[in-house]
């Protein structure tokens, strides 16, 4: 069990709660739904906290960040309708290889998905849209803000790779690992005989914030929640800023 998951208490990751929804900051390395290979998952923890809990959407196991959990069936259905109508705004932050100046770039390449992987496919792919803007540029990398309007499997990873902005530490979609030795002059691994470890050991993607209409709320009753970076993502960004 990974250190991020070991001893995890559901109460400690709650960002927002009312009578209809719980919004949490999912750590990396924990599956959203039941996984045969894992003794624990987010849904299981949620149900231990609130018996009728249902997860409204998913994040990949390695991806950290904001997830909405419904407390009852009607709230779950309400959120599902919002997703279908594309009325849920989810914003992700990604650290990508290379320097990129994007300002509301419209990635609208169609995506074809199998059970475990996706690709851009102009013949068989389904319509997809991700809006991408640059937040910060570093020495060899860029911090991007990504708003997936549609919700295809690995959509952000596929769209960014298509535009040459592969997410760091994502070898499945062509993203190179990020090492301190790439950034720091006269880097010395020291006396250790071990190989240098990357600054982050998972796909450098974080679901940063979400906004959606509350169940039975008026037009102005919007739930907006921000999920702070977990330690590994925060350390990565800190090091990238340090060695410009």
Question: Residue 199 — pLDDT band, cuts 50, 70, 90?
Answer: very high
Give pLDDT, residue 187.
80
Q: How many Å is the Cα radius of gyration of the chain? A: 19
pLDDT confidence of 115, banded at 50, 70, 90? confident
User: Residue 214's pLDDT is what?
Assistant: 96
CB-based contact 152:126 (threshold 8 Å): yes
Q: What is the pLDDT of residues 79-91, one digit of tens each?
A: 999 999 999 999 9
Alpha helix segments (H runs only) across the chain:
42-49, 73-84, 155-162, 231-242
Q: Name the band, by pLDDT with cuts 50, 70 and 90, for residue 5.
A: confident
Residue % of the chain over a pLDDT of 90: 85
pLDDT band for 156, please (50, 70, 90 cuts): very high
- Residue 116 above 60 pLDDT? yes
Asked if the model's pLDDT at residue 223 lies above 90, the reply is yes
Q: What is the mean pLDDT of residues 114-138?
A: 96
Q: Beta 64-70 vs 205-213: how paired, if at all?
A: parallel
Contact in structure between 24 and 65 (CB atoms under 8 Å): no
pLDDT band at 218 (very low <50, low <70, confident <90, very high): confident
Q: Which residue has the higher pLDDT, 140 or 38?
A: 140
User: 49-58, 192-201, 203-212: lowest mean pLDDT where?
Assistant: 192-201
- Give me the residues paired with residue 69 across strands: 22, 55
CA distances from residue 205 to 15, 100, 109, 143, 191 in whole angstroms, order as listed:
19, 16, 20, 10, 32
| Look-up of token digits 């109460």 | 11
Q: Tell whether the model's pLDDT for residue 192 goes beyond 60.
A: no
**Superfamily name with CATH number, domain 10-242:** Pseudouridine synthase (3.30.2350.10)
The domain limits of the chain are 10-242
């Amino acid at each position: 069990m990974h250190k991020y998951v070991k001893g995890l208490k559901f109460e400690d990751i709650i960002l927002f709660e009312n009578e209809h929804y719980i919004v949490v900051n999912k750590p990396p390395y924990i599956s959203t739904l039941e996984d045969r290979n894992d003794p624990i998952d987010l849904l299981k923890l949620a149900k231990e906290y609130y018996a009728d809990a249902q997860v409204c959407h998913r994040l990949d196991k390695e991806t950290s960040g904001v997830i909405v959990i419904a407390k009852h069936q009607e709230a779950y259905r309400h959120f599902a309708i919002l997703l279908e109508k594309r009325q849920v705004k989810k914003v992700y932050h990604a650290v990508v290889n290379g320097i990129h100046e994007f300002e509301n770039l419209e990635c609208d390449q169609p995506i074809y998905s199998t059970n475990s992987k996706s690709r851009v496919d102009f013949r068989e792919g389904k319509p997809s849209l991700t809006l991408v803007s640059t937040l910060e540029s570093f020495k060899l990398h860029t911090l991007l803000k990504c708003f997936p309007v549609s919700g295809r499997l690995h959509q952000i990873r596929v769209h960014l790779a298509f535009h040459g902005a592969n997410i760091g530490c994502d070898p499945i979609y062509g993203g190179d690992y990020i090492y301190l030795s790439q950034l720091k002059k006269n880097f010395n691994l020291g006396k250790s005989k071990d190989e240098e470890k990357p600054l982050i050991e998972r796909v450098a993607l974080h679901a940063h914030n979400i906004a959606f209409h509350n169940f039975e709320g008026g037009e102005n009753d919007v739930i907006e929640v921000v999920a702070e970076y977990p330690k590994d993502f925060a350390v990565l960004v800190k090091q990238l800023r340090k060695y410009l």
